[in-house]
């Protein structure tokens, strides 16, 4: 099993739709979880950290499910500008808690 | 978050030559990393740049090919040596302030080898 796994997609959704991505991780001792957004040929940018209690930022909601070892990202009322690749990052639970990156989920929001 | 500046932003190089990429941060950071991302692929960690000592390389990457310097807490360089077309990629500098903190990235260096 890979350390961090994401469905590569692509997810094609119409504007206004709600879309959710999951990211599974293999190390139950991981403590830090993040979602990033990456536009084509640009650097990844932090979208949100994922806390145990879940967190929400506008149309974006991130949740952590420790029992099943996955994090999720929910995007409500999708905009054309949400089209991007969404990467999850999970720490490796080692001494340096190095981040392990998923391959990314591609989202295309269509008019 | 810290402002991370990478230079050059892009370059086209001849095979067999070397290029040094600079990463400057506007504040002191605990951890600095160098990544590579080839077209359509995910991030691949090359090494962790350690201040005042040799970098820690990931499997498949060696110091002779990718020498790294980190003379202080705000600056690092990555050299891509003896380049071949397979080294064509985006190279990204990334920083992290603590073990439970997110990472932030420079805007990358787009390298093409002819």
pLDDT category of residue A34 using cuts at 50, 70 and 90: very high
> Chains A, B: CB contacts under 8 A, how many?
46
- Amino acid B41: pLDDT: 86
Average pLDDT, chain A: 94
Q: Do B100 and A42 touch (CB under 8 A)?
A: no
pLDDT category of residue B98 using cuts at 50, 70 and 90: confident
CB < 8 Å to A41, chain B? 90, 110
Q: Say if residues B95 and B2 touch (Cβ distance below 8 Å).
A: yes
Instruction: Give tens-digit pLDDT for B81-91.
Output: 999 999 999 99
Q: Do A31 and B104 touch (CB under 8 A)?
A: no
Pick the residue of B98, B102, B104, B110 with the most A CBs within 10 A to test the interface with A by mutation: B102
Residues 6+ apart with CB under 8 A from B95: B2, B4, B25, B29, B31, B32, B33, B103, B104
**Nearest CA of chain A to the CA of B88: how many Å?**
13
Put simply, whether B105 touches A (Cβ < 8 Å) is: yes
Q: Say if residues B74 and B29 touch (Cβ distance below 8 Å).
A: yes
Put simply, whether A4 touches B (Cβ < 8 Å) is: no
pLDDT of B107 > 90? The answer is yes
């Amino acid at each position: 099993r890979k350390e961090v796994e994401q469905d590569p997609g692509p997810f094609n959704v119409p504007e206004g739709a709600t879309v959710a991505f999951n990211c599974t991780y293999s190390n139950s001792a991981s403590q830090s979880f993040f979602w990033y957004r990456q536009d084509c040929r640009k650097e990844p940018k932090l979208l949100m950290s994922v806390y145990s209690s879940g967190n929400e930022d506008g149309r974006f909601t991130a949740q952590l499910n420790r029992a099943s070892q996955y994090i999720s990202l929910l995007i409500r009322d999708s905009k054309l500008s949400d089209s991007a690749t969404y990467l999850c990052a999970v720490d490796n639970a080692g001494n340096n808690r190095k981040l392990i990156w998923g391959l990314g989920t591609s989202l295309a929001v269509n008019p | 978050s810290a402002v991370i500046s990478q230079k050059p932003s892009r370059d086209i190089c001849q095979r067999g030559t070397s290029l040094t990429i600079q990463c400057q941060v506007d504040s002191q950071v605990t951890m600095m990393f160098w990544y590579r991302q080839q077209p359509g692929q995910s991030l691949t960690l090359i090494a962790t740049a350690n201040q005042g000592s040799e970098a820690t390389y990931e499997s498949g990457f060696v110091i002779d090919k990718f020498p790294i310097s980190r003379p202080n807490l705000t600056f690092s360089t990555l050299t891509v040596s003896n380049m071949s077309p397979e080294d064509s990629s985006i190279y990204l500098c990334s920083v992290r302030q603590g073990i439970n903190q997110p990472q932030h990235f420079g805007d990358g260096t787009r390298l093409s080898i002819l």
